[in-house]
Structure 1
Amino acid sequence: MLVPLSWLREFVPYQGTAQELGDRLTMLGLELEGITNPFAGLEPIVVGHVQQCGKHPEADKLSVCRVDVGNEVLDIVCGAPNVRQGLKVAVVKVGTTLPNGLTIKKATLRGAPSCGMICSEDELGLSDEHDGIMELPQHLTPGQPLLEALGLDTEVLDISITPNRGDCLSILGIARETALAFSLPLTLPEAKLVETDQPAADAVSIHIEAPELCPMYAARVLENAPSAKSPDWLRYRLHAAGVRAISNHVDVTNYIMLELGQPLHAFDLETVRGAAIHVRGADQDEKFTTLDNKTHTLNPADITIRDAERIVALGGVMGGLNSEITDKSSRVLLECARFNPSNIRRTARRLAQHSEASYRFERGVDQLNADYVLNRAASLMAELSGGTVRKGIVKAEPKPWQAPAITLRRQRAVDLLGVDMPTAFCESTLTTLGCRLQAGPAAQTANVACPEIWQVTPPSYRHDLACEADLIEELVRVYGVDNIPPVLPGIIKPLEDTGKPEPAHAFRTRIKHWACGLGLNEAVNYSFVSHKELDFLGQPAEGRISIMNPLSDEQNVLRTHLAAGLLQNLRTNIAQGANGVRLFEVATSFVAAPQTETTAQESTRLAVLLYGNRFDGAWPQTQAEHDYQDIKGIVEHLARHLHLPALSWKQETVAPWLAPGVGIYAGETCIGYAGRVKPALADAFHAKKPVWLAELFLDVLYTMHLTQRIRFAPMPTFPAVRRDITFMCPHGLEVGAVLACIQSQKLPLLADVKLIDLFEPKGGEERNLTFRLTFRHSEKTLQDAEVDKMRDMAVSRVCKELGVRV
């Protein structure tokens, strides 16, 4: 919303700076985007007085002028047909750059010197008019800056309006907030309306056939009001607010929309057949051509304004080409209405026909202000065109505005905000906001020690005030969020929750804390990826869920896994010079499931990505790189953290982007997969080193975790005895097979067994696997003979069953 400061000051006597105002409005929830000067390019332009003007001796279409610019008189050659002696003009001196980028230089035109330029409105960027130079009022002083002479708006605040504050999409709305912020009086512009004796109802009638689409429709009628060019003050003010001037009637409707927030539309009354307006939904597949000469196919949900025979406007969106104001128009039907916001939003979006009017109708307008808006607009139109206004307003209002009644408890506001809200402050703030307060029934029966309770009726322009929380929000934004001290709330866990299963959200939070504690960095990605990415990773097309209205082609499908997002994160980190990347993400994946209510099956997953250096420049291991043992160790560490049974790893085809890849099992249950990203795929993400990736099914882990029961055992008091044994095994024998063979014997003294070394002789057909067996007795110190006996039993069984030797 562009707000010229001088226009705002016509409503409130604010004397501070634009920046101070913007800062205060920002704290009230209306964020200041910036402060601009839409006429900054005109600062060097001055007023000139043409003292002499004669024909150029060498060119019939050129004139040689002597122009007084205050401190000097300049010789200027001008080609405009309307230049003449005694004219006040806009002059650009030598060395000045115009808004269109043209720099004025001293020149000689057909032998005559020219030391400046007399400008047209087009050259100054004020309008599209270029038929002649700009003629200024005679009372102006030569040498006076043009900005000052024309009273142009040089300070314009660009304020971001949140979707719920449709009331602030106007100068009046911002003025209300300014008056609230600085305790200033608010003054509305006067509607100086003079009516004739002819009733407006004799010229047109209004019939609303769909009250659910249009609760109110009102109109005024102007006679003998020819369409013409708007005066300078109106055109320049619209320009400062970002609106192009067209003609007096159209410009007034835009001016009132910006000033009061109510979109209006002007019809040529001569084109309205049957002297009647009908408001109803369109017929199915009905065609209509709007002002921009586009033909649209409508449906019954679209609001149409019709005369006795045809559509003349698309309600709340745009007028029709068949009833527009033209240069020949002199009878005007001025419309002011309130339409159903949801219908306007759907129509504008479906037809891609968004406008300043639809933007405001979608957020709701002030139905009770319709009469004032019509009077204000009609008086301006009559003043600018010399026309007359018929007596009265023609109105149909099948659904009058009914304000909600909201109960507000002062103590509730105190409890929610944690600060005391004095009674006087609450009453003063709500009254200034336009609310009506009455003592509620509960307050009337309470004694004086009880907190106050009010029945609050919000004003008709505040559609966002619908419940008690909305009113409390108004109190706190006026009080100042920055004035509320930061205090951490107390967290109370009820005793009845003791022993209950850990909630899924708490489980996911614990997983994140575990990953951060392990040195991994969290990544947060959109749930949207592209079909192109999934195709590149080899993901099958089955099961994908496409987005009907994607934000872009890069986000047109829901992710089926987390790998795509993490690989994009990897690319970004490598581009920033990262030598080692350790990422994790806890997020949801989506697979099509037509049999479900949502047609999508969602599953929560944990993905871990490792790349490059294992340590961040830690001497002497700066060159050590992540490998399979790192990704495997992280997964096993999580399993121990969740008290899951020992994991098994099976090499299999688990994901088309991994080679090799392994499935991860806890017992017979698959809990995820891990492996190395295919080098060709990794290279596309600028990875020059191996990329290791694991993706775990958190929903499965959560279910398994809930079933685990922690059992406690006393700490061992007697020392352990360790024996190392090396098996010479064929290359095809897996380490897991040896471990399983040893553990399956369930030797009573065997406490642990693990691989501690692997050696592959060059050119040999075997490899040497060294295991460490740990023996312990809970009640005594073991003797060597007992340990050797257990070790020999384990070795003998392995050699016999697996065909290895020691």
Structure 2
Amino acid sequence: MKVSLSWLKEYVPIQMTVSDLADALTMAGFEVEAVIDRYAYLETVVVGKVKAVLPHPNADRLKLCRVDRGNDTVQVVCGAPNVTVGMNAPLALVGTALPNGMQLEASVIRGEHSEGMLCSEIELALGVDGSGLMLMDEDLQPGTPIASALRLDDFTLEIGLTPNRPDCLSMMGVAREIAAIQGVKMTLPAFDMPAAQGDITAMTSVTIQAPDHCPRYSACLLDGLTVAPSPYWLQERLRSVDVRPINNLVDITNFVMLETGQPLHAFDFDHLAEHRIVVRTAGQGEPFTTLDQKERLLADHMLMICDGQKPVAVGGVMGGLNSEIEDTTTRVLIESACFDPISIRRTSKALGLSTDASHRFERGVDPDGTLFALNRAASLMAELGQGNLVDGIIDEDYRSSEPPVLSLDVDATNNLLGTNLDRDRMGSLLSSIEFGVEKDGDAGLTVKVPSFRVDVARPQDLMEEVARLSGYNQIPTTFPSLPSEGVTPLPMMALRNQIRDILSGFGFSEAINYSFIGADACDRMQLVEDDPRRLHVPLLNPISEDLAVMRTSLIPGVLEAAQRNISRQQTELRLFEIGKVFFPREGELLPQEKEMLVACWIGAADKAAWHAKERPCDFFDIKGTVEGLSLVLGIGGLLFKALPDDGCSVFRAGHTAQILHNDDVVGQVGELNPAVVDAFRLKPPVFVFELDVEVLARLLPGTRQMAPIPRYPSTTRDITMIVDQDVESGRVLETAIGFKEALVEDVYLFDVFVGDPIPAGKKSLSFRFVYRSAERTLDDESVNTIHQDLTHRLIADVGAALPA
């Protein structure tokens, strides 16, 4: 947003230097990105006194002028008809950059040297007269800079506004803020409405068919107008903010928009079919040619301003080519409306069409400001266009709400901002920008929000106003209170980090995936129809179709990561991911969240080397990873129970175990179903475990105690037994440990054998018992007695037999 200092002075007396004003606006929340001296180009233009005028020897229409520039006299070739001896006129010296872009240099014109240029008003952008030299006061001293001689002093401030401040997309809005900064009152522009004649209701009408898109539409009518160039003051105002003048009628609509922030549109009344306005939404695919001469296809959500037969403007964005102001226009209908910001934003984005009007409408304009802007424009058109105002105004108002009235707690405001402002100070700050303020109780304020502040809707917005008006630089700087003692991390966070460290130590790499997966992930995982993981939480605005629902399992993400790695020839993979899965809850907006851990192992367990062959990973490698993880975490007593063939469709039948701890299901481990592997474009075998981290957290030991290294030696005894092939070694170990023999330090399986001479359907399991005492060296007789007793009990409990 660009504002002119001289224009602002029409509404508020500015008592600060331009640099101080820029700093003050910045500290009030309006970042001044640039301060531009509008007349800097006149630095090398001085008052020149014509000392002599001689005919040019080689051109009838040119003259040789001797011009005093203060310290010396230069020769200038001039063709102006009004140049005379003794006159003062602007002299542009060599090196001047003129407003038209020309760089002035010493030159030879028709054989005569010219060391400057005598200028007209239009050549210096100081007026519209280009018929002759600009006449200056004869009392001015030659060589005086023209900016000083004419008291030309104006700056343009370029302000970077945030989208929530549409009220400051106008001169009056910025002037209001300056008035508050200086503690003075802003003056609204004064104007008199001309005498009116006729009756507008007999000549035109406005029908709003889409009040949700256009809650208010105001219009007035003028006739007998003359289209002509705008007067210099109006052109100067527009040029000061880089707006190109067009003609008096169009320039007035731009001027009032820049002044008030309310976009206007002027229709040629004689081009409106049936001389009426209809506000409706467009038909899907309806064509329309805008003022930029481009045909656009409209959508059914776009607001259109129509006459009795056809569209004449895209509401709030741009007018149509079929109703623009022309040189022959004599009757004008002025539109001043309030449109729905969301509707305008959608239309502008869809059409790729951004204008000054849409920029304001899509941020929100003052719904109470339509009539003021309309009357301001009508009075100027009647004056500058020498026309007549038709009596009456059409004002269709469908608004259903008033600006909010909010309560502001003084103590809560100070606590939030870190300030110590009293109630009176807060009230005066808000009153300075035209908020209605009344005291409420002992420590509160009731604040009525003005209609032009469409961004203020809650008490926190008022607190922000207090902060910026009092000055962000006035808020004291404090440092956070840092406790000297260490902060204990959350238990789940500590466990998560510990799991990462353990698995990284086991050679696994962490995968980090989106919490979203494709809706087809359940089918690719071969889940049965009643599996709860098929109940997804859908996303309202997914990134892509492949990321349309919240994940209910981490397996798809890890397998996708594995596939991407394998496609890049990384064929030996150990990946894990720890994160949340999400399940819908009936009657609840937010889903149920559960922390899970998944790891997969693909490829070799041991690579080929000079002393060993490559060994592919198998079920026992991934199972050993789970056992190693539980061992480091201090969780004992995990039981791996084989699942039946139909126990889990994700895993391969007969190659999967459920991980249990007493009555808790910790997770599953095994080889993936080949159909699942194929669906994720991998090659079998793929081994995976999936653990419930929340269950692991419950199983963590409260404290872990250190034990000294044993002083006394251990001794071992073995048991070999024949059992049915479906008997799990883990069950045998669990039974042996369950005896709780004090001298048994450890029990582990060290051999499995199937085949001759073992009977069919049987297998041989060999276990090693480690015996040790913390108090003495064990003798063979006592160990043998204990071991024989344990052997008989174990064989009896598991239904085994000793080998023959």
Kindly indicate whether the alpha-carbon contact (under 8 Å) linking 1:11 and 1:175 is maintained by their aligned counterparts in 2: yes
> Deviation of residue 670 (structure 1)?
8.4
AA in 2 matched with 1:229: P
- 1:538-549 equivalence runs, <5 A: none
1:45-56 superposed matches below 5 A: 45-46=44-45, 51=50, 52=53
1:452, 1:248 → 2: CA distance? 54
Partner residue in 1 for 2:17? 17
Alignment of 1:338-349 (within 5 A): 338-349=338-349
AA aligned to 2:298 is L
1:80-91 aligned at under 5 Å gives the runs 84-85=82-83, 91=91
State the distance in 2 between where 1:549 and 1:144 align: 68
Measure the CA separation in 1 of the matches of 2:102 and 2:627: 71
C-alpha distance in 1, partners of 2:14/2:466? 23
Q: Deviations over 1:92-115 (max 9, x none)?
A: 322445578765432223311121
- The one of 455, 459, 462 equivalent to 1:468 is 459
Report if aligned partners of 2:253, 2:264 keep a CA contact under 8 Å in 1: yes
For 1:646 and 1:198, how far apart are their aligned partners in 2? 98
For the residues of structure 2 that align with 1:153 and 1:564, how far apart are their CA atoms? 64
Q: How does 1:390-405 map to 2 (within 5 A)?
A: 390-399=390-399, 402-405=402-405
Residue equivalent to 2:449: 458
CA 1:123–1:437 in 2, change beyond 3 Å: closer, same or farther? closer
Q: Secondary structure at the match of 1:44?
A: helix
Secondary structure of the 2:291 match is coil
SS in 2 for 1:703: helix
Tell me what 1:712 maps to. 703
TM-score, normalised via structure 1 length:
0.63
Q: Which amino acid is 2:468 matched to?
A: R
1:478 pairs with 2:445 = no
Is 1:82–1:133's contact at 8 Å kept on the other side of the alignment?
no
Tell me which residue corresponds to 2:109.
Answer: 109
In 2, distance between residues paired with 1:243 and 1:506?
63
Query: What is the aligned partner in structure 2 of residue 373 from structure 1?
Result: 373
The one-letter code matched in structure 1 to 2:36 is: N
Is the 2:39–2:153 Cα contact (8 Å) retained in structure 1?
A: no
* SS of corresponding position for 2:155: coil
How far apart, CA to CA, are the structure 1 residues paired with 2:67 and 2:669?
A: 88
Does the aligned pair in 2 maintain the 1:88–1:135 contact within 8 Å? Answer: no
Supply the AA of the counterpart residue of 1:85.
V
Q: How does 1:275-286 map to 2 (within 5 A)?
A: 275-286=275-286
Q: d(CA) in 1 for partners of 2:326 and 2:713?
A: 101
How far apart, CA to CA, are the structure 1 residues paired with 2:629 and 2:170?
57
Cα distance change, pair 45–382 in 1 and its aligned pair in 2 (3 A):
farther
Matched, 1:288 2:288: yes
Letter of the 2:135 counterpart: Q
Q: How does 1:644-683 map to 2 (within 5 A)?
A: none
Q: Is the 8 A contact 2:200 2:221 kept in 1?
A: yes
Q: Provide closer, same or farther for how the CA distance between residues 717 and 364 of structure 1 changes in structure 2, counting only shifts above 3 A.
A: same
CA 1:410–1:546 in structure 2 vs 1: closer, same or farther (change >3 Å)? closer
SS at match of 2:254: helix
CA contact (8 A) 1:204 1:276 kept: yes
Q: Distance in 2 between matches of 1:200 and 1:311?
A: 22
1:264-343 matches, within 5 Å, as 264-343=264-343
State the secondary structure of the residue aligned to 2:371.
helix
> What TM-score comes out, normalization by structure 2 length?
0.63
Q: What do residues 416-448 of structure 1 show as CA deviations (whole Å, max 9, x unaligned)?
A: 4565542212322332232224566xx4xxxxx
Q: Which has the larger radius of gyration?
A: 2
Cross-structure match for 1:92: 92
Equivalent residue for 1:352? 352
Whole-Å separation in 2 of the counterparts to 1:84 and 1:76: 15
Q: What is the letter of the counterpart of residue 349 of structure 1?
A: K
Q: Which range is displaced more, 223-232 or 255-264?
A: 223-232
Q: CA deviation at 1:197?
A: 3.4
Corresponding residue for 2:676? Answer: none
What residue number does 2:260 align with? 260
Contact 2:334–2:374 under 8 Å retained in 1: yes
Q: Counterparts in 2 of 1:369-448, with a 5 A limit?
A: 369-399=369-399, 402-414=402-414, 416-417=416-417, 419-438=419-438, 443=441
- For 1:164, the equivalent position in structure 2 comes to 164
- 1:377 is displaced (CA, Å) by 2.1
Matched residues in 1 for 2:636 and 2:253: separation?
74
How far apart, CA to CA, are the structure 2 residues paired with 1:488 and 1:669?
A: 44
Does the CA-based 8 Å contact 1:279-1:304 persist in structure 2? yes
Once the two structures are aligned, what percentage of the paired residues are identical?
Answer: 33
Contact 2:281 2:301 in 1 (8 A): yes
SS at match of 2:365: coil
- Equivalent AA in structure 2 for residue 779 of structure 1: A
Q: Deviation per CA, 1:460-485: give whole Å up to 9, x if none.
A: 11112222332233233334455256
Deviations 1:286-306, CA, capped at 9 Å, x for gaps: 221111112222244222212
Alignment-derived partner of residue 135 in structure 2? 138
Contact persistence 2:712–2:773 (CA under 8 A): no
The count of corresponding residues between Structure 1 and Structure 2 is: 649
CA distance in 1, matches of 2:89, 2:637: 91
CA contact (8 A) 1:11 1:189 kept: yes
Closer, same or farther: CA 151–234 of 1 in aligned 2, 3 Å: farther
Ranges in structure 1 where 5+ consecutive residues have no aligned partner:
444-450, 492-501, 530-542, 566-583, 609-633, 648-664, 673-694, 724-741, 754-774, 790-806
CA-CA distance at 1:231 after TM superposition: 3.3
* Partner residue in 2 for 1:6: 6
Aligned AA for 1:153?
Answer: D
Structure 1 counterpart of 2:12, which letter?
V
1:176-215 alignment, distance < 5 Å:
176-215=176-215
Alpha-carbon distance in 2 for matches of 1:67, 1:478: 58
Matches within 5 A, 1:562-581: none
1:779 aligns to what? Answer: 774
Q: Which amino acid aligns with 2:455?
A: D
Residue 65 of structure 2 aligns with which residue? 66
**Which is worse superposed, 358-367 or 44-53?**
44-53
CA distance in 1 between partners of 2:494 and 2:239 (Å): 53
CA contact (8 A) 2:2 2:156 kept: no
- TM-aligned CA deviation for residue 638 of structure 1: 9.5
Q: d(CA) in 2 for partners of 1:420 and 1:228? A: 58
1:720-744 deviation per Cα after TM superposition (whole angstroms, max 9, x unaligned) = 6999xxxxxxxxxxxxxxxxxx999
SS in 2 for 1:395: strand
Alpha-carbon distance between aligned partners in 2 of 1:74 and 1:547, rounded to the nearest angstrom: 76
Distance 2:710 2:695 in 1: 34
Partner of 1:42: 41
Change over 3 Å in CA distance of 1:425–1:717 after alignment to 2: same
RMSD: 6.3
Query: CA offset at residue 714 of structure 1?
Result: 3.9
CA distance in 2, matches of 1:124, 1:475: 45
Offset at residue 203 of structure 1 (A)? 4.0
